[in-house]
């Protein structure tokens, strides 16, 4: 009898422990004990990239690391979660991440689903061309050129529908494919956010091969996405971003990640309260 009682008590304790663990894992969205889950891109050089050795690099990664430290999480307490463009809102709303830093442009449609801290970066839609090509200096020049972007890109449609309707638009599966085409002269230009273009052009193996034209075909304010209504977290992140600018870290990080491309970046945008 005694043995049965002890066994029953032990089993009950295990059940209670498992129940507590299960409840605790979802009680603080995006956090796991003393760690924090942050969404970034894994495939954007210069912004958010998972390197072959399993490390993470880029401007967004550096910004997220700085913010996390201000929130009380050292770098070794960060769990990086892949945040593809189409999944960013879901990751936030489901509590899979505490916040997302992933070339996440603030717009009215997204603000209906999530809140944003920031912005922390202002970029524009631009063109990347070969370094020795001086035939494209304005968007109208694309009317007689082959333009590349990724399938479904709003940047490509912006050019095709509004700015250079006679451009020969080639839509490929990824930016790396467009870069190969640009290098091989199969296409004449690649379009997306200037920050993304600068990130690719800054890669060691590509330095000196391409240049940004320097156009400003749209305004893209990158913000940090977080759960709607979490005003306390939003306020803390905004405070961290303001400190990052005032202590000089922001500019150092921009130069570190985009400098080799010759990217002429905008000053840090004012945080929106």
> pLDDT digits over 223-253, tens only?
999 999 999 999 999 999 999 999 999 999 9
Q: Is the peptide bond preceding residue 146 cis, with omega within 30 degrees of 0?
A: no
Peptide bond into 119 cis (omega under 30): yes
Quick: pLDDT tens for 254-268. 999 998 888 889 999
| Mean of pLDDT values over 9-25 | 40
CATH number (3.40.50.720, 3.40.50.300, 3.30.70.3270, 3.40.190.10) of 31-123+221-261 reads: 3.40.190.10
> Cα separations (Å) of 43 from 36, 115, 146?
21, 24, 25
For residue range 101-136, list pLDDT tens digits in order: 999 999 999 999 999 999 999 999 999 999 999 999
Tokens of 40: 């970034």
Query: Which is it for the CA torsion 64, 69, 72, 76, positive or negative?
Result: positive
Domain assignments of the chain as residue spans, ordered by start: 31-123+221-261, 125-212
d(CA 214, CA 191): 11
Say if residue 26's pLDDT is above 80: no
**CATH number at 125-212:** 3.40.190.10
H or E element: which one contains 109? helix 108-111
Mean pLDDT, the chain, rounded, equals: 88
Asked if the domains 31-123+221-261 and 125-212 are classified in one and the same CATH topology, the answer is yes
User: What value does the mean pLDDT take over residues 178-199?
Assistant: 94
Query: By three-state DSSP, how is residue 129 classified?
Result: strand
pLDDT at residue 32, rounded to an integer: 67
Q: What does the pLDDT read at residue 28?
A: 53
pLDDT at site 227: 98
Q: What is the DSSP string of 151-173?
A: TT-HHHHHIIIII-TTSEEEEES
């Amino acid at each position: 009898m005694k043995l049965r009682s002890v066994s029953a008590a032990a089993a009950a304790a295990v059940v209670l422990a498992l129940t507590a663990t299960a409840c605790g894992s979802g009680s603080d969205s995006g956090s796991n004990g003393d760690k924090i889950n942050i969404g970034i891109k894994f495939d954007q050089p210069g912004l958010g990239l998972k390197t072959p050795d399993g490390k993470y690099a880029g401007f967004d990664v550096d910004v997220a690391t700085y913010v996390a430290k201000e929130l009380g999480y050292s770098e070794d307490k960060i769990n990086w979660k892949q945040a593809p463009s189409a999944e960013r809102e879901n990751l936030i709303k489901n509590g899979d991440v505490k916040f997302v830093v992933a070339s996440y442009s603030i717009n009215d449609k997204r603000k209906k689903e999530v809140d944003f801290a920031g912005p922390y970066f202002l970029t524009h839609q631009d063109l990347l061309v070969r370094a020795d090509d001086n035939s494209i200096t304005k968007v109208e020049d694309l009317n007689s050129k082959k333009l590349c972007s990724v399938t479904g890109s709003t940047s490509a449609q912006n050019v095709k529908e509004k700015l250079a309707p006679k451009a020969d638009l080639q839509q490929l599966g990824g930016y790396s494919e467009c870069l190969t085409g640009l290098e091989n002269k199969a296409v004449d230009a690649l379009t997306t956010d200037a920050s993304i273009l600068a990130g690719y052009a800054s890669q060691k193996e590509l330095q000196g091969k391409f240049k940004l034209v320097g156009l400003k075909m749209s305004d893209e304010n990158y913000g940090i996405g977080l759960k709607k209504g979490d005003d306390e977290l939003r306020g803390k992140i905004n405070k961290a971003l303001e400190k990052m600018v005032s202590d000089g870290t922001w500019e150092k990080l921009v130069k570190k990640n985009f400098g080799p491309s010759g990217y002429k970046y905008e000053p840090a945008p004012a945080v929106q309260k």
